Structure 1
Amino acid sequence: MNTELRIPSVADWDAWLGCLELAFGGVPLTPESREMYATLSRPDRSLGHWDGSECVGTAGAYPFRVTVPGGAAVPAAGVTMVSVAATHRRQGLLTSMMRRQLDDVRSWGEPIAVLKASEPAIYGRFGYGAATPETALRIDTDRVRLALPPGTDRVRLRRASPGGALDACEAVYARLAAGRPGTPVRQPGWEKMPVNDPAAHREGGSPLICVLAERDGEVTGYVTYRVRPAWEEAGPRGTVAVRDLAALDPASYAALWRFLFGIDLTSAVECGNRPADDAVLQLVSDVRRCEVRLRDGLYVRLVDLPAALQARRYRAPVDVVLEVEDAFCPWNTGRWRLTGDAEGVASCRPTEDPADLVLSVRELGAAYLGGVSLSTLASAGLVREERPGAVAEAALAFSWDVAPWCPHEF
């Protein structure tokens, strides 16, 4: 490897971004997207590999705060824009960037790193575990009906421009973020990302449309979507493509879904990223006609293991000794006694006591937000139980009452 790894300068930005564009298919970013990334990116938190004057590798890390079980917003590195030029594969560039980046994240005092993987096979070897599932839906609205809770008819819906409704929508997002592990608390500037709407990204659909739900004069929910018209010999077969939908109460939530089901000249509603426990799956008359597809969402990497485990709460009292293997961040390797519950402050300290559970940092990252059971990981042979009953005890403690979810793209 005869390349130089360094933080890109302002003058390097275009070459750095050009390397990223080429790695993701060579289609240039729209001017709107380039401007947004230039505004949100932090050069001092970015890395580039340079072969002479050519940028051949990129990686970035946004400063985030991510909700964890119990409601705390934990500082996190939002890993993004990772690429290696096709001409420089299998030369260790990615490994060196991940090594340097995790060292940097630790120095920044951020206990965890999170990412959304373009390919799921890449990041496990660096200690990232798939922690939040997400659900994609395509609902046949010609044949599926909704069961509506009391109060749905009292919800007022009104159209609003996506930009003009931004403050109201962000207020709803902020209230919901605190109750859903895996959800990033929106940082300044990021509120514009959900309404970024370049024409090149519409795939034949309309510009982004926003509808607000209101109860007693208060905005209690919103949906942003576009319509993709289509026609067959028998008539219209348009699709409603939902970008974001959020609501503070069941009636507002159901009112927004009922609205989407009733849009003229359409016969399907598509959602690319919904939580695994999305309530709409309990409202529909026929879940088989919703084409539910589950996939990996947010990946979590514990960078400072004791700080990360102490930041969250636990559903049941736990007192367990974890023997953790972490070849990539050896400061996490060893035995740790974890104690905690739903109310008190957790403790995670080094110990010489015998291990109750043996696992790698990847499995601990997968279980961290409460969406992947340690019992499931043990059944797969990825967690070893040394004390009888320890898996069941820890699995209950790490679980949470809502599925973790990351609706925030980065």
Structure 2
Amino acid sequence: MVDDHTGPAPELRSLLPDEWDSAYGTLLRAFGGPPEAEEERQLWRDLTEFGRFLAAWDGDRCVASAGAFSFRLTVPGGASVPAAGVTMVSVAATHRRRGLLTSMMRRQLDDIRSWGEPLAVLTASEPAIYGRFGYGAATFQLDAEIDTVRAGLTVPDGTDDVRLRYADPAEALDACEAVYARLVPGRPGMLARRPGWERLGLLDPESTRGGASALQCVVAERDGATVGYARFRVKPSWGPEGPNGQVTLSALEALDPAAGAALWRFLFDLDLTSSLLARGRPVDDAWQYLVRDVRRCRPALRDALYVRPVEVGAALAARTYRTPVDVVLEVEDAFCPWNEGRRRLSGDAKGATCEPTRDPADLALSARELGAAYLGGVSLTALAAAGRVRELRPGALAEATSAFGSDPAPWLPHGF
């Protein structure tokens, strides 16, 4: 194959361990080239699954990359489904508009299908890029900058029964991970952490603190058992009226409402602080209903996890449905043509099947819309209002919308 620009096209192949530094350097340059702490760089190298990472080479220069972690993703109903976590996607600025990204996406989705993983997921630096490859925004996250002095907080009964103690983040890691693991099956979008991924929550390079403290941890306990934890940093600040430090929340997980409220109250009440910055929280996070004045919290919504069904039938059969559903879906998927055509989805809260059929279609949509609706956080009715889903049988849209929904809201707990 010959590239029209400068001769032979770059060679696309699996990344070898001794090529990692070159590929990672290309990735960092594509994202602006800021320096990265050695501990962070080493963690990503340790997590890299060689054989699942691609790189394109122009001679001895790496000019593009794309990887896929092997995850298990919670879906509605609580099942843990294999999913490829697409990551470290980059193309050197010198090699743009030459089809490298499309070539990598094509190769990657073919590989994911061969691995038997029905889903691909990613977080997008530029959302406009990935829709053409069938990825739909499936989860959203809530950011907030809370005025802890004026927002106020009302906690539920039992909050005072929760004991809080400071703990070294590393020493408390096993107890915190046990809390996280218990929560994973209960919320779509959460990732079961494979060995090594627990280190992500402890990353604490001084260069990224922005003047804040080292990472701190508080553990919530009841009857000697850990029932929650919070990781955070504190940035001291003083103004003309006195102290106005800021708390930045890194993670907060709790097994019950009282434990969660105890942790939020602790963060609100930290001495010499007046604001709490919380990013990447679930859109139905409890703090919104604990505060007395949500307007003092400046909530903001943004996209988080993008989902792409690699095998439509297997993906839809892997989850359950909130209400009974029996619809024929006409799926458009030019990038993964094996998904195109009609499938009958039949399911309820106990399980589902999704098989090819010749019956008339009830709904028509693309793989991107299926990805967006898959975890239950995006309404098929809303997508239809935008012209992205077509109802072909009266009543089918309402039936499917109700069935696809999820309580609680789907949430991605951390990036990758």
Give the alignment's TM-score, normalised by structure 1. Answer: 0.99
Once residues 241 and 154 of structure 2 are traced to their aligned partners in structure 1, the CA distance between those partners, rounded to angstroms, is: 28
Once residues 271 and 44 of structure 1 are traced to their aligned partners in structure 2, the CA distance between those partners, rounded to angstroms, is: 36
Deviation at 1:122, TM superposition (A): 1.2
Question: 2:304 aligns to what SS in structure 1?
Answer: strand
CA offsets, 1:99-150, max 9 Å, x none? 1000000011110011111111111110000000100011001101111100
- The residue number in structure 1 matching 2:6 is none
Correspondence list, 1:8-407, <5 A: 8-343=15-350, 345-407=351-413
Question: 1:121 aligns to what SS in structure 2?
Answer: helix
Once residues 254 and 176 of structure 2 are traced to their aligned partners in structure 1, the CA distance between those partners, rounded to angstroms, is: 10
Amino acid at match of 1:240: V
Amino acid at match of 1:356: D
Deviation at 1:29, TM superposition (A): 2.1
**Structure 1 runs of 4+ with >2 Å offset:** none
CA offsets, 1:50-75, max 9 Å, x none? 11111110111000000000000000
Amino acid at match of 1:348: C
Once residues 288 and 397 of structure 1 are traced to their aligned partners in structure 2, the CA distance between those partners, rounded to angstroms, is: 33
Amino acid at match of 2:381: S
More displaced 10-residue stretch of structure 1: 21-30 or 296-305: 21-30
Once residues 212 and 126 of structure 2 are traced to their aligned partners in structure 1, the CA distance between those partners, rounded to angstroms, is: 27
Question: 2:214 aligns to what SS in structure 1?
Answer: coil
Question: 1:227 aligns to what SS in structure 2?
Answer: strand
Deviation at 1:151, TM superposition (A): 0.5
Deviation at 1:14, TM superposition (A): 1.1
Question: 1:43 aligns to what SS in structure 2?
Answer: coil
CA offsets, 1:78-104, max 9 Å, x none? 111011111111111111101100000
Once residues 35 and 47 of structure 2 are traced to their aligned partners in structure 1, the CA distance between those partners, rounded to angstroms, is: 18
Amino acid at match of 1:372: V
| Structure 1 stretches lacking a partner, 5+ long | none
Question: 2:138 aligns to what SS in structure 1?
Answer: strand
Question: 2:274 aligns to what SS in structure 1?
Answer: strand
Once residues 307 and 226 of structure 1 are traced to their aligned partners in structure 2, the CA distance between those partners, rounded to angstroms, is: 42
Deviation at 1:229, TM superposition (A): 1.5
Amino acid at match of 1:369: L
Once residues 63 and 240 of structure 2 are traced to their aligned partners in structure 1, the CA distance between those partners, rounded to angstroms, is: 50
Amino acid at match of 1:304: E
Deviation at 1:30, TM superposition (A): 1.3
Amino acid at match of 2:354: C
| Structure 2 stretches lacking a partner, 5+ long | 4-8
Once residues 97 and 32 of structure 1 are traced to their aligned partners in structure 2, the CA distance between those partners, rounded to angstroms, is: 28
Deviation at 1:285, TM superposition (A): 0.5
Once residues 361 and 146 of structure 1 are traced to their aligned partners in structure 2, the CA distance between those partners, rounded to angstroms, is: 43
Amino acid at match of 2:324: P
Once residues 149 and 324 of structure 2 are traced to their aligned partners in structure 1, the CA distance between those partners, rounded to angstroms, is: 48
Aligned length: 409
More displaced 10-residue stretch of structure 1: 252-261 or 226-235: 226-235
Amino acid at match of 1:195: L
Once residues 170 and 187 of structure 1 are traced to their aligned partners in structure 2, the CA distance between those partners, rounded to angstroms, is: 11
Deviation at 1:28, TM superposition (A): 2.8
Question: 1:377 aligns to what SS in structure 2?
Answer: helix
CA offsets, 1:251-310, max 9 Å, x none? 100000000001111110011110011111011011111110000010000001111000
Give the alignment's TM-score, normalised by structure 2. Answer: 0.97
